[in-house]
C-alpha cells in the first residue's frame, strides 16, 4: 500500500464520520460567529486607532487564525479515544505507513476547518467586509498551513501525554495566551511596550498580521511575507513533530 493510498483511505474514513455528524460545523463555528457579531461591532469606534477603514477586514482574519490554529489544538482528544477503543491498533497491523495514519486525520481536520473558514468569510462579506479576492485566497492558504501545524502538534501532544486528563489543562492553558498575544481580537500594538514585545515572539502574531495585510490588498508587502514564512515554519515543525511522535508512540 502506497503512502498516498493509505492516507486517502484514512482521510475518507475520518471525513465520512464527520459528514454523518454535521453538528461539527455548528460547534466549530459557534465561538467565532459570536465574536464576529457580538464583539466585532464594539471595535467600530476604534477603527481609526486600529489603522483601518473596514473593521471586519481587520477582525475576520483574526477569527480565521482562531479557527485554523486554536480551533484545531484539541483534535488530539480524538486520537486518544481511537487508541483506547483499539482503532489505532487495528490500523497499525496493516501495511500502511505510520505517517499516513496521521496525515489522513490531519487532512480531515484541515478540510473541516476550511469549510468553516469559508462560511466565516461569507458571513463577513454579508455584514460589510471588503477584502481583496486574491488576499482572501492567500489567507485561506495560511489558515491551511496553521491547521496542519495545530492538528499535527495536537496529535503529537496527545500521544505523548496519553490521557485526556493530562492533555486538557495544557491545551486550555495554551489557548488563551495565544488568543490574546497573537492579536487575534485586538492588536498588541495598542498595548504597553512589554506586551508588544511578548506578542512579537508569537509566530501566530505574524500570521494574523500577514492575513490582514493580504485581505487589505497588500499582497507583496513585507508583512504578508512574514506571515507566509511564519505559517510555513509552523506547518513544517508541526508535521515533523507529529509524524515522528505518531510513528514512535503508535507502536
Average pLDDT of span 10-35: 74
In whole angstroms, give the CA distance from residue 139 to residue 126.
Answer: 18
Cell numbers representing residue 115 in the block: 469549510
Average pLDDT of span 123-127: 92
Q: Which residues of 209-242 are buried (b: 16+ CB within 10 A; e: fewer)?
A: bbbbbbbbbeeeeeebebbbebbbebbeebbebb
Average pLDDT of span 216-232: 94
Q: What is the predicted pLDDT for the residue at 203?
A: 93
Which of 28-37, 103-112, 166-175, 207-216 holds the top average pLDDT?
207-216
pTM of the model: 0.88
Every domain of the chain and the residues it spans: 24-249
CA 153 to mean position of chain CA atoms:
11
Q: What is the predicted pLDDT for the residue at 147?
A: 93
CA 2 to mean position of chain CA atoms:
28
Task: Write out the E strands in 145-227.
Answer: none
pLDDT of 64 above 80: yes
In whole angstroms, give the CA distance from residue 95 to residue 6.
Answer: 9
The model's pLDDT over 145-197, given as tens digits with 9 standing for 90+, comes to 999 999 999 999 988 888 888 888 998 888 888 888 888 888 888 778 888 89
Average pLDDT of span 62-84: 84
Amino acid at each position: 500500500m502506497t503512502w498516498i493510498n493509505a492516507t486517502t483511505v484514512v482521510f475518507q474514513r475520518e471525513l465520512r464520520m464527520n459528514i454523518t455528524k454535521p453538528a461539527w460545523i455548528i460547534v466549530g463555528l459557534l465561538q467565532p460567529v459570536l465574536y464576529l457579531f457580538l464583539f466585532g461591532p464594539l471595535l467600530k469606534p476604534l477603527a481609526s486607532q486600529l489603522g483601518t477603514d473596514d473593521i471586519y477586514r481587520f477582525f475576520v482574519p483574526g477569527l480565521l487564525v482562531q479557527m485554523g490554529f486554536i480551533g484545531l489544538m484539541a483534535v488530539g482528544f480524538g486520537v486518544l479515544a481511537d487508541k483506547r477503543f483499539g482503532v489505532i491498533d487495528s490500523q497499525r497491523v496493516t501495511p500502511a505507513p505510520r505517517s499516513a495514519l496521521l496525515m489522513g486525520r490531519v487532512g480531515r481536520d484541515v478540510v473541516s476547518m476550511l469549510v468553516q473558514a469559508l462560511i466565516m468569510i461569507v458571513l463577513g462579506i454579508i455584514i460589510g467586509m471588503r477584502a481583496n479576492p486574491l488576499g482572501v485566497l492567500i489567507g485561506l492558504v495560511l489558515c491551511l498551513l496553521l491547521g496542519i501545524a495545530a492538528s499535527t502538534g495536537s496529535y503529537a501532544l496527545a500521544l505523548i501525554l496519553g490521557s485526556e486528563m493530562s492533555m486538557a489543562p495544557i491545551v486550555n492553558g495554551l489557548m488563551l495566551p495565544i488568543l490574546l498575544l497573537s492579536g487575534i481580537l485586538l492588536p498588541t500594538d495598542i498595548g504597553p511596550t512589554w506586551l508588544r514585545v511578548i506578542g512579537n515572539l508569537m509566530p501566530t502574531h505574524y500570521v494574523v498580521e500577514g492575513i490582514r495585510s493580504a485581505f487589505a490588498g497588500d499582497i507583496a508587502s513585507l508583512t504578508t511575507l512574514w506571515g507566509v514564512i511564519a505559517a510555513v515554519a509552523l506547518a513544517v515543525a508541526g508535521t515533523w513533530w507529529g509524524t515522528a511522535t505518531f510513528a514512535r508512540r503508535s507502536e
